[in-house]
Amino acid sequence: MSAPGSIERRVVTVLFADLVGFTPLSERLDPEDVAAIQDAYFAAVRETVARHGGRLEKFIGDAAMAVFGLPRGRDDDAERAVRAGLALVGAVERLGAQLGLDEGELRLRVGIESGEVVAAEAGPDEGRVTGDTVNTAARLQAAAPPGEVLLGEGASLAVAAAVELESQPPLSLKGKAHPVRSALARAIRPEPSRESAMGALRSPIIGRDAELTQLRGALERVAGGGSATVLVVAAPGTGKSRLVAEFLDHVTVPAWRTRVRAGAGSWLEPLAGLARAAIGESDPGATERRLVAGGSSAARSRVLAGEMAGLAASSGTSAGEATERDARLGGWVEALDGLAGEGPVIWVIEDIHWAGGDLLAFLDRATRTAAPRGRLVVATARPGILERLADWALDGPGTRREVLDLPALAPAKAAELVGRLVGEILPADLVAAIGERSDGNPLFIEELLRTWVSVGTLARDGTGWRLVDAPEAIPLPTTVQAIYAAQLDDLPVPERRLARRASVAGRRFPTGALESLEVRDAERSIAGLRDRALLNGPLSDATVGESWSYRHALLRDVGYASLARAERARLHMRLARWLEGVAGERADAVADVIGSHYEAALAAAPALAHEVDEGIARPAVARLAAAWMERAAEAALRLSASDATIDLLRRALVLTHPPAGLDAGRRELLLGETIATSGDMDDGGHYVALARDHFRARLMAAEPSSEEWIVARDGYARAAVAVSRLVREQLRFDEARELAEAALADVGRRDDVAGGRLELAAATAHYFVTDRAADVLPAAGRALAVARRDGDATLELQALEMLTVDDRAPLEVFMAAWRDLGLLARSQGRWELACRALRMQAMARLDLSLDPQPLLDEAAELAVARGLTEALAWTEYARAETGYALGEWDVAWAAGLRALELAERGAYHRVAVRTWHAVVPMAAARGRRDILERAVRWYADHDAIFPDSAYGRLMRRFVNLHFAAAGLIPPVDHDVEALLASFEGELSGGTTLEAADALVSGWLRDGHLEAAGQALGRMEPGARESVFPDVPPAWQLLTARLRLAGGDAPAAIALARTALPLFRALPRPPWTAKAIRLLEAAGAAGAEEVAEARAIEARLDVV
């Protein structure tokens, strides 16, 4: 017998829960796995029951019993029991997904009844609850369908006002004399006061004075112009976004805000947010006018306005060839700065830990670029970002870029936050425990209190709050994720289903996709989640329409983690199909997203499952994923997003089967060309060569003239040309020709595009070795005919370009050819080639005694407008070359140094070496030893890349003579035989003639008259027939030097007198001075002529 007063009759609510099908599951699992599942299940039950104010009585095998109403009763005991039951069903579903079990493999059924029990309050049976209510609850649990909560008559009556019920037929339960009325709990009825109370809780800013001061200081530093970037780094929930919001609330300058979303697809979307904020309601014309007002030229403004319009639409521009990434990113920075207005502007880019390399490159470019009116970039990220931006940590406050480490709240500040949220209603010990458990994380504190509101632990009391449960009975979770998991478990079934299934879309999901994600009554569920402040929105999206965003990324992560693998796979598949259906003309903008969902479906599908979704097997899903990723890569490449392109193609190749087939070859070729263009020629060459080999293997195995053979042959030709081009760009001309010729032998010399490509590639490489137009013109002519016949615009342009090297054509014809080629290039958006056409026309104008500068100005303007760095470098080289020839050495000197800066920064070796040919002789003539030393270092670093061509030997000896004369290298030997070939054929004008003069003068100075005579003899035929007007008089002057050195002064004077007026007429002032100085040496120059020479040399600044 129990002691008097040790038992008590109480009205309580009893809950029984039991796993369904756990016994057969445990029979096929390892005992350790079974124990792990049970431990996780028991922990979930304990946490859920405690969170809802119940008391866990006992576990009986896999069943659990809990009582609500002990040790003290509340008027909502039954409601809290039902809430706990529904939450337990959700928790077990989530647990199954976390353990990697199939959907529905681990389920729970719950029975609940309210009524009178006998409770032992003391003695050896303390805590025991007995009575018919307990037995009925146990029987209801056994009768409940899997995944459902079944209520008895007493519980149903108690919760009818708060819970949506579905009546069931009377049940015949063991031990009951009469059938028992029952009902299934479908959902908790909306309780506006509680939901609005949850939504009202929002953390104020506390303990962040130092950080706000740092941000304000950064803004003050850029107020008068310049740029700064502050990277706010903190763990999730520490308050990065809240800090930024507080900072922005108290500034008066414009602030443009955007966010990087995990799995959002297009790397462009965060930048599109900046562009939309900058443009506002402006149309392209208004944007262009604003850019002009901001200081850009009209031509540049037109291009930038177009870029901004495309960027704002999340599509970018796609016409023509892809621009260099750095140039395009620089253009975007320039445009955003130009649209900023009269004062500084703030860019806020949140969550850059999700950013790819292209977006980080944009951030780096913005940091390196000064803003005339001032620009502060505030970026937020989790700590892992510093592994990718390690050098940022080396900078400190007050520098152009700085890291702001946002610490957790100190215990006193955490306690203050609790008080600011709910007032001073919690005992000090509980507040301290919250602060300790939260580790100073404001999100933990806020979400914990919101959870207490959700389950009734905290309730409104007028304008304040009151604590309903005893402090010692309130459990504290361990992490923010655990809090969010509890919040999702506590949701009504429809809302919980939406929160879980929409998570496959990422933090932001489209309303229109919810039906495909098997979400019913979406409008009501969204309203419920919004009222609980679990969703933000609605948001607008140009592609998918109305969208919503989870309150926090961690909330979405918890929802996603609750999905079983098969369920994830199915939902990813259905979302991908939905996107395919709605994307329409914007498919390129979401191709990455679609491909990623197919990829995620494959990754989530159970390993032994043949089908990923009903009716679609793994290989088919892999093909879809790879195809969409390839499409996304092509779109990214048009936007100069090289990192995104490379990543997408690598992922596509992993999914491509067979790995050596035609699809693989096509993707490898694009990947290799992109990598090579991005600067890694070796890795890029590897993939291009791999593509070539795979195409070749398919070509050799295919039936001739079959569709596979045709595709393989075309792919092989493209890949082989790419390999040859990459080798040629590394100045290995002979190897490039051999590679192209070997591939041509494989495909056969057919009159088609594939054969034309390879023949032209081989001939082009050979031309770069010999510098003889005759070695490339026949192939170029045949390629042009094929290209025009078959409509291949790329081959047509390549052929036309090589046809312009015809050194037999009159200059007027040459210039007209380049003019036509330039117009064709512009029409196809080939801006690099259009710039080159302008440069070549400018060089022709020089030889026609016309001013080349207007065309060079146009080329520079086009290069700047289109952001073409290499084209601008070539244009500056052309200014140096023409300025050198015209005697405008100050212009040439400045242009040459600009070209070298651009070339060295971009590793444009061909531009650099050509520019040094003009700069070195000017540096020597002007006594600029510092520049000569810089040139010596450059040549030493790049010596191995120079080809052993006639032109290359001539020009290298030319600069070496200057280096030796300055004492920077040992004297050069006279390798006459190796150099004689450099004088054969037709030498072009400009610095090539300067090199010839330097060699001949050096031989004569050292007494090698025979060598000089042989060289001039080989030069004579080409000189007499040259279309370049400065070549004949230059040959005459060099021959005059030979005659004078040989003692035939009259012949020397006659030749110099013939050359002098020609040089004056062109004009070529440096050569004019040389001719006069020769006449002076021969004793035949008049005083006025000597004065003329001195004036020229003074203008050239010759020392």
What are the tens digits of pLDDT across the range 215-243? 999 999 998 888 999 999 999 889 999 99
Kindly indicate whether the domain formed by 479-563 is annotated with CATH number 2.60.40.
no
User: In this structure, which amino acid lies at residue 186?
Assistant: R
| Model confidence band, residue 543 (pLDDT cutoffs 50, 70, 90) | confident
Spell out the SS3 assignment of 1036-1099: HHHHHHHHHHCCCHHHHHHHHHHHHHHHHHCCCHHHHHHHHHHHHHCCCCCHHHHHHHHHHHHH
Hey, which of 44-58, 305-319, 423-437, 887-901 has the most confident mean pLDDT?
A: 887-901
- Which tops the pLDDT comparison, 204 or 686? 686
Gap between the Cα atoms of 443 and 238, Å rounded:
6
- Which tops the pLDDT comparison, 866 or 272? 272
| Model confidence band, residue 399 (pLDDT cutoffs 50, 70, 90) | low
Name beta bridge partners: 257. 348
Q: Is the peptide bond before 658 cis (omega within 30 degrees of 0)?
A: yes
How far the first Cα of the chain sits from its last, in Å, is: 122
Query: What is the enclosing helix (H) or strand (E) of 16?
Result: strand 7-20
Query: Nearest 10 degrees: CA dihedral of 262, 263, 267, 272?
Result: -70
pLDDT at 347: 95
Tell me the mean pLDDT in the region 720-742: 87
**In terms of C-beta density within 10 A (0-12 exposed, 13-18 middle, 19 or more buried), how is residue 1033 classed?**
buried
Cβ neighbours for 394, distance < 8 A, ≥ 6 positions apart:
none
User: In this structure, which amino acid lies at residue 257?
Assistant: R
Gap between the Cα atoms of 20 and 96, Å rounded:
12
Token match 């600044």: residue?
A: 1101
CATH topology of domain 973-1100: 1.25.40
Q: What is the pLDDT of residues 91-102, one digit of tens each?
A: 888 888 877 777
Gap between the Cα atoms of 675 and 669, Å rounded:
10
**What are 180's two structure tokens?**
């028992």
* Res. 637: pLDDT tops 80: yes
CA dist list (Å): 1046 to 1012, 1049, 1050, 1058? 11, 8, 11, 19
Which of the 8 DSSP states describes residue 130? E
Mean pLDDT taken over the chain: 88
pLDDT at 356: 86
CB 351 within 8 A of CB 327: no
**What are 846's two structure tokens?**
């020089």
Q: What is the pLDDT of residues 979-995, one digit of tens each?
A: 888 898 767 778 999 99
Question: b or e along 915-928 (b: 16 or more beta carbons within 10 Å of the residue's beta carbon)?
Answer: bbbbbbbbbbbeeb
pLDDT at 820: 84
pLDDT at 320: 42
**What are 483's two structure tokens?**
């809090």
Helices assigned H by DSSP within 99-232: 132-143, 153-159, 192-200, 209-222
| Model confidence band, residue 1026 (pLDDT cutoffs 50, 70, 90) | confident
Task: Give domain limits for the chain.
Answer: 7-189, 215-405, 411-473, 479-563, 566-636, 809-864, 973-1100
Hey, which of 297-311, 526-540, 679-693, 1077-1091 has the most confident mean pLDDT?
A: 1077-1091
| Strands (DSSP E) found in 531-678 | 535-539, 547-550, 611-613, 616-617
| Model confidence band, residue 815 (pLDDT cutoffs 50, 70, 90) | confident
pLDDT at 197: 58
CB 989 within 8 A of CB 1071: no
Gap between the Cα atoms of 819 and 469, Å rounded:
86
Chain length of the chain: 1103
User: In this structure, which amino acid lies at residue 490?
Assistant: D
| Model confidence band, residue 6 (pLDDT cutoffs 50, 70, 90) | low
- Which tops the pLDDT comparison, 607 or 565? 565
Q: What is the pLDDT of residues 476-488, one digit of tens each?
A: 888 888 888 888 8
**CATH pick for 7-189 out of 3.30.70.1230, 3.40.190.10, 3.10.20.30, 3.40.50.150:** 3.30.70.1230
Tell me the mean pLDDT in the region 591-599: 94
Token match 């037995």: residue?
A: 135
Gap between the Cα atoms of 1018 and 560, Å rounded:
79
* Res. 280: pLDDT tops 70: yes
* Res. 1015: pLDDT tops 80: yes
Gap between the Cα atoms of 995 and 593, Å rounded:
58
117 backbone dihedrals φ, ψ, rounded to 5°? -135, 165
* Res. 3: pLDDT tops 60: no
Gap between the Cα atoms of 81 and 912, Å rounded:
79
| Model confidence band, residue 2 (pLDDT cutoffs 50, 70, 90) | very low
Kindly report the CATH number that applies to the domain delimited by 215-405: 3.40.50.300
Longest dimension (CA), the chain: 145
